[in-house]
Structure 1
Amino acid sequence: MRETRRGFISALAVAGATSLAGCLGELDLQTDERPDLDVKTLREVEALGSPAFPATTPAPVSPTFLEASKARAEELLDSVPATMDSAAVPNEAVRNIYAEAYEDATRRLDRASSEATPFETLRSLRSARGSAAMAKGTYEAAVGELTEDDVRGMAGSIRSDIESFSLSHRYLGDDPGTALVAHADVEDFLAAAARYLDRVGETGRYDRSAPRVGEMVDAVESSRASLEGARHLADRHRDTLSNPRDFGDLFQESASSLTALVADYRGEYPDTHRPLLDDFDTDLDDTPAKILLMETFVHMHFGVQQARDELRAGSPANSLLGAHAAERHRRAFEAARAAVRNDEYVSLDAATRVRDEKLAGLEALETADSTRSSSALTRRALTDVASRIDRGDSYLERSLANDTYRSARNALGEYAFVVFTAREAPGVSAWILGALRARLGDDDA
């Protein structure tokens, strides 16, 4: 889930975590007659590892640009000492906050050097620059060299640059699917630039203090890095085009129609998952089936919300990604419902069942990625889906010894979620791309 999907992430953090955690807690009340599962086998399931689906972008990120961004973070950090002198800054709390900020910036810089793709490095370096700016701003404010008003002055020119880029940005491309993903990334970085800058005027963790100035400088630097990233991605994507066309109207109109369509589909279901679960003859409480059905159902809802939120925010490419999420989870839910009616996932009697489901999830991801119809759009969806393997593993890692059945049940539910959603990703990509190309053909007629 990406940082700019505000409505989606907010809903997932609040509604999803609350409802799912509550339901899993309800499941955990039923402990009678649970089977004994082999812990050694479950440990081996976790040790199978995770799929390699790191975040990528169609735009070829320049190594020179990444080096410049890294140099900027290092410059910020090198301009201040590793520790504050107690004589210069008597306030111990400020010194401790500064030490934490400096250490955090160093850690983020190290992390950026080990990312799997240039796109992930780009995002990590933005974070490192913000953390380094936090340290620098805190130090300079503590020794009397920087004030909140000074930082507000820095923010003004960046806000103007954000507005200028937003107005001038064109959705250029030669293939609508590739352009969709490329411009979704541009939208993300641009939205992040505005969001970070808004934090300058908001109340932070620290009020009227040197660390508060540091927070503000962090926000300004993160905004600057985001805007630079948006420009770079747009420029680099444009440089790859042999016959560029402006897809702005195409994306806007398609996002509007497909958002309405997935919202209509969502309207055919109850508002909550409970009536859907009660429709089965089998009691699904304390089963992997319940987790699978709840996850696919809830994420269908979140996909619709993302599509709506991004459309309202003027980000049609990300709105289309939201429509993709809504439809693939709807299809996954329907397939999962059919499987449960066929008595699949309604019990967990052996640890080998968890192993087999994880392997099926890994296979489903690879199959979807290698299909002839695979595209940048499918790859982006699979990056999101693949992260759920890690979530399944985390259940086995965190609580296997304390509650073996619960850990195995939850992990199996997550792996099954991957199986069903990965299978649907290529078809839903074709659904999105078919709609785009059909509308594009009408425009050319």
Structure 2
Amino acid sequence: MSSLEEGQKIVEVAKPASTAASMAPTSAAACLNLDDFEKAAETLLKSKAWAYYRSAADDERTFSWNRDAFSTIRFRPRVLRNVRPVDLTTSIVGHRSTMPVYISPAAMGRLAHTEGEKCLARTAAAHGIPYIVSANSSVSFEDLAAEVPKDTLLFYQLYVNKDRAKSEDILRRVAQAGYKAICVTVDAPVAGKRERDERTKLDDAAAADLSTQASVRRAPPNAPDGPQDKKSQGIAQGLGSLPFTRRLPANCQPTPAAASESVAAAMFSYVDPTLSWADLDWIRRASNGLPIIIKGIQCAEDAALAAHYGAAAIVLSNHGSRQLEGAPSSIETLLEIRKFEPQVFEKLEVWCDGGYRRGTDVLKAIALGARCVGFGRPFMYALAFGDEGTQRVATILREELKQNTRLLGATKMSEVLPSMLNTTEIERNLYSGPYDSPVQTILTKL
């Protein structure tokens, strides 16, 4: 070996740990906030799993804005009020939730932990909050329903298949399994351009790498040495030929090229891009009348249309900034609805997701009329620690909500009011018109 090679080897051996790794918490108990789980997951998960969870569209400016938008809103707290009792409970599509928080649908939980989405379902049951099970869950929705008490607030995320009969079968089985609502995701007729994900395309070699728990975690404290239990497999529905997708729900079938695409592109290969408002009645009938939640509303017009077509709730969402770069944050859409279609809040529930990381973020949405807020990535990152991690995320959110509700001068969610916020700065970014109500246009034509 040459002296140069020896020198290089010495440098490599002596190389200190990265700053991110050295600062990352090593246990769920050491995580003080939701960002800590992201730091931990980045060091625990291998690149393919991390890229899928973390990826966002294009240059990821929308990803940053989802977070930054909250800093443009200031509180106007009230004082000298008795805030000893605090009640965080709320009603979500007719069901009691212990706080205005739910677990958002996110796919492929077993990339982080062998129990995957089972941890999320158990957390929802333990904390009395809803969990929207991803259509691309790595554990079947029927297995998840069997994992938790029947009164657990399990909702199902639907991507409508190009073969409608397959979606009808899924909806029938979801209703039979005891799910409480259907969440129709409408902002993803095709996959967004997620470059972190695209750089780790799932060719056959990558699929084999992802097929064992040990290969997708850098330091898997609870991972087995062998392949995942095939009974629960179903990751990345639409990648049927891959070794970790032996048990695909009937809702999804792969395109011939799916195995060489990015995770996101492959998963969306079965989605019907022709879905329209008129299809909501079909979904309602196929699911035996379950409440319909429309996820992916990004403007006041579509919020009004959702109310007109009978949705029980809408989720203001840009898909976690994973679809259209430049889409508005949910807080901006919330303000736009208040400006142009305020009657929507009386006709259906308005939910939000995307970039929320603090109890104060939730309170800002509640003050502007939201019923509840969804958290996706934080729970997926927390799966690096299994049940302990996901339970810890819910506990942190509950503690932050209680503390900051008191500091705001309120004791229950109905007391968190618009007058407690200064939104002057963010309102400068709102759409200013012209505006024509789409519902009024429909009624005029009748």
TM-score by length of 1: 0.30
> Per chain length, whose mean CA-contact separation is higher, i.e. which structure has more relative contact order (CA < 8 Å, sep 6+)?
2
Q: Which has the higher helix share?
A: 1
Q: Which has the higher strand share?
A: 2
